[in-house]
Amino acid sequence: MQMLSKIWERAGLAVARVVIGILWLTQAAWKVPPSFGCPPDFAASIDTAHRTSGLCDWTGLMAAYSIFPPHGWFVRTIMVPNLSWMGWGVFLLEVFLAVSLIFGLFTRLGGILGLLMALNLLLGLWVVPHEWYWTYIMLMVLQWIFFVTGAGRAFGVDARLIKRLQPKAEQGSRAVRALLALM
């Protein structure tokens, strides 16, 4: 009975991991390079009445509504004017998060990066009209769970890699121990 319970726990964690990975993939899908879904001039939204599209829309809203002044400053002065190339970082991060969670590969790294991305979204979108900030809080909690549990160890690639890498870590390889910390 206890073994069946463990299987259900691991299966539940794996399902949650894959579902949130698919969520990240769908989010990357509407901001595909090179335009990132933005208008040709990369104009950012300035408020909810004057919206553009793609990454420019949501980044502009974050610049206008961020609840943390240093975050708002960064988005306004660094991100928005440079979206034509900084969008690559956003897109690649979301694709990495999707791959990490769907396949259970480097899930501790994916978990902490996803938590930071969700925190970024929470800070920037908390007070945007008609936006439900609890979405980002729930995403942060899920990403934290994936980080602390090493969710890829439940039916993921990490489980297989750990078995192969563990002997090298026990022999003292610092690089392998660092790699294992990301799984």
4: confidence class by pLDDT, cuts 50, 70, 90 = confident
Mean pLDDT of 22-27: 98
Q: Residue 89 corresponds to which tokens in the numbers above? A: 């970082």
Rounded to two decimals, the pTM is 0.94
Cis ω before 34 (30° cut-off from 0): yes
Express each pLDDT in 28-37 by its tens digit: 999 999 999 9
Express each pLDDT in 59-73 by its tens digit: 999 999 999 999 999
Which residues, 6 or more positions from 125, have their beta carbon under 8 angstroms from its beta carbon? 58, 61, 62, 65, 131, 133, 136
DSSP 61-78: HHHHH-SSHHHHHHIIII
CB contact at 8 A, 94 and 27: yes
Mean pLDDT of 92-120: 98
In the chain, where are the structural domains located? 2-181
